[in-house]
Amino acid sequence: MAERRRLVIASGNTGKLREYRELLAGTGLDLVAFDGDVDEVGETYAENARLKAETAAGRSGLPALGDDSGVEVEALGGFPGIRSARLGPTQQDRTAELLRRLEGKPRPWNARFVCVVALADRGSETRFFEGECRGEIVPEWRGAAGFGYDPVFLVPGTGKTFGEMPPEEKRLYSHRARAVRALLESGALEGLSV
């Protein structure tokens, strides 16, 4: 039997990894998790996604996908954005800190999730794919599905937060699913080097 082609997913975030496994299940690629512990020193999602993807590709010798994502809240001028993972030591602290900063601000707390995926492969320029999902931050935590800020992110028209959606429903709307759709539609995964 022919060996399956491998693609490294450069992330140590189990919530993200689970989503990539589901979103890329139809590609037939053998997905390998690689947590390079890369310092996110970039000033944009794309720079950080590139750092993760190119570090993983360089160390593994395989094509690699890096992801950088975050939530941007309008009333906070787009904060926390690329700093979404650094608002506190645990996700519970981070969500509480976000809600604390919104206290007293008029609702709705319009927000969007953004995801940039970088695909690094030797011999090619790194390519980028982006997805966004618009919604609203709500003060009460609803549901325990997903990860990160999912329980406080309400998706318009559904009456549900991402925390209340099973994975197959979240992927209809999510920024990560949209970025992966753009990646799949580009055909970039068909031409990988390994």
Token look-up 């999510």 returns 174
β-strand 30-33 against 6-10: which pairing, if any? parallel
Residue 40 lies near ligand IMP (rule: CB under 6 A): yes
Active site residue 68: yes
The stretch near ligand IMP (CB under 6 A) out of 24-32, 53-61, 134-142, 147-155 is 147-155
List 67, 68, 121, 150, catalytic entry: 68
Binding mask 157-176 for ligand IMP (x = CB under 6 A): -----x-----------x-x
Residues 6-25 that bind ligand IMP (CB under 6 A): 13
**What is the bridge-based pairing of β-strands 64-73 and 6-10?**
parallel
- 50: contact with ligand IMP by CB under 6 A: no
Select from 69-77, 101-109, 123-131, 136-144 the region that touches ligand IMP (CB under 6 A). Answer: 69-77
Closer to ligand IMP by CB, 25 or 122: give it. Answer: 25
Q: Note every long-range contact of 161-167, with CB atoms under 8 Å and residues 24 or more positions apart, other chains counting.
A: 167/18, 167/19, 167/22
Q: Compute, in degrees rounded to 10, the torsion defined by CA atoms 43, 33, 127, 63.
A: 140
d(CA 160, CA 146): 13
What is each CA distance from 128 to 9, 22, 67, 186, in whole angstroms?
14, 20, 10, 10
Catalytic residues: 68
Binding site for ligand IMP (CB under 6 A): 13, 40, 67-71, 84-85, 113, 146-150, 162, 174, 176
